[in-house]
A and B are shown apart, each in its own frame.
Chain A
Amino acid sequence: MSTEAQLAPPKAIPAPSAADAHAARFVARGARWIFMLVLAIAFATPLLWMLATSLKSETDLSAHTLSLIPQHFVWSNYGQAFTAISPFLWNSVQLAVINVVGVLVISSIAAYAFARLEFAGRDIAFFFVLATAIIPSIVLLIPQYIIFQRIGWVDTQLPLWVPRVMTPVFGTFLLRQAFMGLPRELDDAAKIDGVSIFGIYWRILLPQVRPAVAAVAVFTFIESWNDLFGPLIFINSTNLATLPLALAQFSGQYFSTTTLLMAASAISILPVIVVFLLAQRYFVQGIAASGLR
């Protein structure tokens, strides 16, 4: 499609027909661009509407529901919404940080061993790790609930990070791929210089796979931040609720108005959008890598 534009003849002295074809291509490209723009706006509208509504007054909202621009910007909505959700926001931040750090530590060192160390039982162990990926998480969540109830973990934050941190199968897989892509000479040279096995992992190889580390970090952050089912079944106390749980369950109690609810929703998605925009490249590469065998 778009290659046609590239092959268009130089415009020096175009024959009439060539000029027509050129114009036709120009129009086609323009039409395509406008089509994409309309599509993108339609796509973005729900989130733009959320943003607009979060800055409206209630009367403005009921009078001009469709308008994407508030008549007056009511910034105080955000102050009020923030005050209401800040305990839950803090819970979610804590969990996200623990999950990201924990997943990175456990998956990267396991991935290094799977990719670089020769040891008895390695391949069987790796197959075992991958095989667990076929079990849907819902199969595991009910028995986890039963077990955690026995050991007194229900209604604590532990079920929301210990299982996730201790079983980073996807992260291990992605990082193993990344380590395997590095030249063996790196390890060999370091070994000759007397670097320890742990040192090769920590000082030589890990800095080389930063994009994959970033991808795993972003995936884990988004998963932890957006999780609803885990908090829903494991948390009973309001003071331990995460942001998605609080929004899903007590939005009626905390937010009597739509404008405040939309401001709270906007606050809840802001960290993810920021992280995503900053690390979009790695995130997209991670997804693409998983789809390209």
Chain B
Amino acid sequence: MTLYGWLFIGPLILGILAFQGIPVVVSIYTSFTNWDGITTPKFLGFGNYARMFTKDPQYWRTLLNTIEFTVGVIPLTIIGALLLAVLCNGKGKVSNAVFRTAYFTPYVTSIVAIGLVWSQLFTPSGVLNQLLAKIGIDGPSWLTDVHWAMPAVILVSAWQAIGYPMVIFLAGLQNIPETLHEAAKVDGANSWNRFLRVTLPLLTPQIFFVLITQIIASFQVFALIFVMTKGGPGTATTVYIYYLYQNGFTFGDLGFASAMAWILFLIIGLVTFAQLRLQRRWVFYND
């Protein structure tokens, strides 16, 4: 049996060793060197890490941009998804399915295609500004405006990603026993109070899960930025992975890029760990 067992999981285990195990070792080593992938690497010790935090103001800029992106996109996605889930959880089966599909489609759609479409909508004389002109607002040049490029990509990212948390919330809503709502109604709670005191607490496990996965995802945003702004204008939308990509594959500094990747791993790990510690304070498990 042991033979069969290992034979069946063998390809997976070998794959993980070859394409994750060895790369992890290579990556740790590379992060301590100045490797460009061609010439012989020189050992730098913690040089790359020190450079990141002390000699590279651009690094801090991108870290702040990433935090700005995350802080913008997370509430928009979660509150929006909650609203849509509650709206789609009604009685009309067919209409709900249609609405659900409409909200979910962007999530499965290629980010490149989405980025190309929205770039067209955001051009100075594009759809958005023509609509704004109709109500007398002189729209900015969005993606080439230092102040508006980040809000623009945040909006598109939330629009694209909202379907995933919505489906998770819908599954959570459907797990809430009807009797709890009935009981609250008998006690005279109106629908807003029922949402606040019955639905929301029982949905906290799903909100917690979405919060963790979405923060991890938004720290790694790349494709949308690559297609819509290329990190610009200037460095206004240069987020972490975009800067990492530039370092590794435009400037050929694979050592520095590897060090950046490990710090990102550390940041994500710490944020996730903190959330796991804090969950006792607000996540309510009904079992």
Count B-side interface residues using an 8 Å CB cutoff. 96
Whether a CB of chain B sits under 8 angstroms from the CB of A109 is yes
Whether a CB of chain A sits under 8 angstroms from the CB of B177 is no
Contact B2 A276 (CB under 8 A): no
Residue of A nearest to B97 (CB): A280
Which of A40, A138, A168 sits near B244, CB closer than 8 Å? A138
Whether a CB of chain B sits under 8 angstroms from the CB of A135 is yes
Whether a CB of chain B sits under 8 angstroms from the CB of A118 is yes
Contact A66 B131 (CB under 8 A): yes
Instruction: List B residues 1-52 near A (Cβ within 8 Å).
Output: 1-2, 4-6, 8-9, 11-16, 18-20, 22-27, 30, 35, 37
With known contacts A132-B20, A136-B264, A268-B112, A117–B121 Cβ distance under 8 A: no
A268 to B108, CA, bound (A): 12
Which of A47, A163, A248 sits near B117, CB closer than 8 Å? A47
**Which chain A residues lie closer than 8 Å to B87 at the CB level?**
32, 35-36, 39
With known contacts A269-B113, A288-B170, A292-B172, A53–B5 Cβ distance under 8 A: no
Give a binary string over A249-270; 1 marks a CB under 8 Å from any B CB, 0 the rest. 0010000001001100110110
**Which chain A residues lie closer than 8 Å to B5 at the CB level?**
113, 117-120, 122
B158 to chain A, nearest CB (A): 11
Contact A228 B23 (CB under 8 A): no
**Which chain B residues lie closer than 8 Å to A233 at the CB level?**
245, 248-249
Contact B159 A46 (CB under 8 A): yes
Which of A43, A120, A142, A197 sits near B30, CB closer than 8 Å? A142
Instruction: List B residues 168-212 near A (Cβ within 8 Å).
Output: 168, 170-172, 175, 178, 181-182, 185, 191, 205-206, 209-210
Count A-side interface residues using an 8 Å CB cutoff. 92
**Which chain B residues lie closer than 8 Å to A162 at the CB level?**
19
A50 to B118, CA, bound (A): 9
Whether a CB of chain A sits under 8 angstroms from the CB of B67 is no
Whether a CB of chain B sits under 8 angstroms from the CB of A208 is no
Instruction: List A residues 92-120 near B (Cβ within 8 Å).
Output: 106-107, 109-110, 112-114, 117-120
Contact A284 B126 (CB under 8 A): no
Which of B22, B37, B105, B112 sits near A47, CB closer than 8 Å? B105
A149 to B254, CA, bound (A): 13
Whether a CB of chain B sits under 8 angstroms from the CB of A147 is yes
Whether a CB of chain A sits under 8 angstroms from the CB of B268 is yes
Whether a CB of chain B sits under 8 angstroms from the CB of A82 is no
A33 to B91, CA, bound (A): 11
A146 to B19, CA, bound (A): 12
Contact B95 A228 (CB under 8 A): no
A147 to B37, CA, bound (A): 9
Contact B105 A44 (CB under 8 A): yes
Contact B102 A46 (CB under 8 A): no
Which of B108, B209, B262 sits near A276, CB closer than 8 Å? B108
Whether a CB of chain B sits under 8 angstroms from the CB of A143 is yes
Residue of B nearest to A201 (CB): B8
Contact B22 A147 (CB under 8 A): yes
Residue of A nearest to B287 (CB): A293
Whether a CB of chain A sits under 8 angstroms from the CB of B69 is no
Whether a CB of chain A sits under 8 angstroms from the CB of B161 is no
Give a binary string over B93-105; 1 marks a CB under 8 Å from any A CB, 0 the rest. 0010011011111
Which of B19, B88, B121 sits near A163, CB closer than 8 Å? B19
A283 to B112, CA, bound (A): 21
Residue of A nearest to B114 (CB): A46
Whether a CB of chain B sits under 8 angstroms from the CB of A1 is yes
With known contacts A172-B12, A228-B111, A40–B99 Cβ distance under 8 A: yes
Of A2-10, A13-21, A186-194, the one touching chain B:
A2-10
**Which chain A residues lie closer than 8 Å to B261 at the CB level?**
136, 138-139, 142
A233 to B246, CA, bound (A): 11
Contact B99 A36 (CB under 8 A): yes
A265 to B110, CA, bound (A): 9
Which of B15, B24, B227, B244 sits near A135, CB closer than 8 Å? B24
A230 to chain B, nearest CB (A): 11
Whether a CB of chain B sits under 8 angstroms from the CB of A129 is yes
A232 to B37, CA, bound (A): 17
**Which chain A residues lie closer than 8 Å to B26 at the CB level?**
143, 146-147
Contact A143 B258 (CB under 8 A): yes
Identify the A interface with B (CB < 8 A): 1-3, 5-6, 32-33, 35-36, 39-40, 43-44, 46-47, 49-50, 53, 65-66, 106-107, 109-110, 112-114, 117-122, 125, 128-129, 132, 134-140, 142-147, 149, 162-163, 165-169, 172, 197, 201, 222, 225-226, 228-229, 232-233, 243-244, 247-248, 251, 258, 261-262, 265-266, 268-269, 272-273, 276-277, 280, 283-284, 287-288, 291-293
Q: Can you add 17 more A-B contacts, CB < 8 Å, to A142-B248, A262-B117?
A: A39-B84, A113-B5, A129-B12, A134-B269, A135-B20, A138-B261, A139-B264, A145-B37, A146-B35, A167-B12, A225-B110, A228-B223, A248-B112, A258-B120, A261-B120, A265-B117, A269-B113
Minimum-distance CB pairs A-B, first 5: A166-B15, A119-B5, A288-B171, A113-B8, A291-B168
